[in-house]
Structure 1
Amino acid sequence: MLELYQFELSQYSEKVRLMLDYKGLAYRKIEVTPGVGQLEVYRLSGQRQLPVLKDGNIVIADSTEIAKYLDQQYPDRPMIPTAPKERALCLLMEEWADESIGVKSRKVLFNGLSQDQRFRSAMLPANTPDVLKNLVESVPSEILKTLGFGLGVSPDAVKSATEAIKQDLEALCLLLREQAYLVTDRPTMADFAVAGLSILLKFPAGPYLDLPADLRGKGVPGIADNPLYETFFTWRDRLYADYRQPLSSASASVSASRPTSIEID
């Protein structure tokens, strides 16, 4: 069985999970412990970034390379068009999504966490003690913003990323008003990239991710609840309903109800 080394709330991991589900491939999720667990990923793949897909003795790092491998090795339901113009558009849009939505939405999410205390505590694992949840909720927004400077998430960086994301969503809405998918009349790698990478802006409402129920359907204030972007999120919800396997019925795709963690002594 295919093995996906991942972070559950990683947009790039979600991009790959969407593609695996679209192709109907069974896989096992292996949740990597941040930091120490990535040493094992390095031993496996020669680098520390996730996701990493293991297919027997073959190891593939990087979500784009994984997509290309899946199309080559499992050609049913191809995700990368062969017609020159459509292929070019697909590859360009996928790369754009990685570098724009994938990078900037993390900065936008940080701002959302500082604005919404309930959203902030919902990001914690479901078994987090109430006392810790209350502590996280009580951290003043100004302290979080100050912390953001050390993480490269200054107010100016957040503002710039937010404006860029809003422009991206506006463009996507305009495209999707005229067509069912971004490139062709069927889903491509571009669709799965855009949909998966957008989860930090607004989490899917359905049981697709292993996260607290309070977090499903929630997102960054001013974006997730903005009617200007309803076309995009409605499109994404339809893509999920059509192709993403819910956790409750994904017994063929995962080895257990929760991912397996890698721990190194």
Structure 2
Amino acid sequence: MLELYQWELSQYSEKVRLILDYKGLAYRKIEVTPGIGQVDLFRLTGQRQVPVLKDGNKYIADSTAIAKYLDLEYPDRPLIPKDPKQRGLTLLIEEWADESIGIKGRKALFAAISQDQSFRKALLPTSTPDLLKTLVEGVPSDLLSVLGLGVGYSPDVVRSAIADLKQDLEALTLLLADSPYLTGDEPTLADLAVAGLSILLKFPTGPYLDLPESLRGKGIPILAENPDYAPFFAWRDRIYSQFRKPIIGSPTGGSPTTIQID
């Protein structure tokens, strides 16, 4: 069985999970513990970041590389069209989504959890011990703001990211106004990338992530609750209902297992 080394709330890991489900491939999720787990992963693959896909003796890092590998090795339900124009558009949108929605979504989410203690606590996986949840909830917002500055998430950077995401969501809403998918009448890597990467903006309404049920359909208020973007999120949830397997009763099981590197 395929193995996916991941973080449950990594939008790039979710992009790969959605791709695997779309292709109907069974896989096992292995949660990489930040710190020591990343060191072990680097020792094995030369890569500290997730996602990493293991297929037999092969390790494939990076969500785009994983998508291309899966299309080559498991050609059923192809992700990338053969038509040159559609292929080019698909790859262009996928790369744009990685660099825009993926990166800026993390910045916008950081701002939301910095200001909302209950939201911060609720974002922890359901398997997190209550003591740790209480500690995380009690971290002062001022301290989180300082930590944000340390990783480049200054207030100006966050505001710019949110402004860009508003434009992104407007553009996506317009593109989908008269088309079921972003590049035509069939889903492609472009759709799966955009849908999977958008989870940090607004979580899907179904049981697809190891999160409390109360967070389903919730997200960054300024984006998730804006009626102008409701058509986009409705489209995204349709993608999930069509292709993403829910945690309950799925071959992947419920919560991911801890990393075990042979």
Report the TM range for the smaller structure's normalisation. Answer: over 0.9
8 Å CA contact 2:204, 2:237 repeated in 1: yes
Paired residues in the alignment total 261
Residues 132 and 16 of structure 1, relative CA distance in 2, 3 Å threshold: closer
TM-score (norm 1): 0.93
Residues 114 and 24 of structure 1, relative CA distance in 2, 3 Å threshold: same
CA distance in 2 between partners of 1:25 and 1:202 (Å): 26
Which residue identity lines up with residue 53 of structure 2 in the other structure? L
Q: Which residue pairs with 2:120 in the alignment?
A: 120
3-state SS, counterpart of residue 222 of structure 1: helix
CA distance in 2 between partners of 1:84 and 1:263 (Å): 42
Q: Which residue pairs with 2:38 in the alignment?
A: 38
CA distance in 2 between partners of 1:196 and 1:113 (Å): 20
Point out where structure 2 has 5 or more consecutive residues left out of the alignment.
Answer: none
Q: Which residue pairs with 1:164 in the alignment?
A: 164
3-state SS, counterpart of residue 242 of structure 1: helix
Residues 129 and 19 of structure 1, relative CA distance in 2, 3 Å threshold: closer
Query: Per-residue deviation at 1:130?
Result: 4.6
Query: Per-residue deviation at 1:128?
Result: 4.2
CA distance in 2 between partners of 1:243 and 1:131 (Å): 36
3-state SS, counterpart of residue 102 of structure 1: helix
1:107-165 deviations in Å (ceiling 9; x for gaps): 00011112322211101232445555445434443332232111211000000000001
8 Å CA contact 1:8, 1:14 repeated in 2: yes
Which residue identity lines up with residue 48 of structure 2 in the other structure? R
What is the identity percentage for the equivalent residue pairs of Structure 1 and Structure 2? 67
8 Å CA contact 1:33, 1:263 repeated in 2: no
8 Å CA contact 1:119, 1:218 repeated in 2: no
Residues 1:177 and 2:177 aligned together:
yes
Q: How does 1:225-240 map to 2 (within 5 A)?
A: 225-240=225-240
CA distance in 2 between partners of 1:89 and 1:159 (Å): 29
Q: How does 1:103-142 map to 2 (within 5 A)?
A: 103-130=103-130, 132-142=132-142
Which residue identity lines up with residue 250 of structure 1 in the other structure? S
Provide the aligned C-alpha RMSD in A. 1.6
Residues 1:63 and 2:63 aligned together:
yes
Deviates further, 4-13 or 126-135: 126-135
Q: Which residue pairs with 1:198 in the alignment?
A: 198
CA distance in 1 between partners of 2:28 and 2:53 (Å): 10
CA distance in 1 between partners of 2:257 and 2:125 (Å): 15
Residues 1:260 and 2:257 aligned together:
yes
Q: Which residue pairs with 1:248 in the alignment?
A: 248
Q: Which residue pairs with 1:148 in the alignment?
A: 148
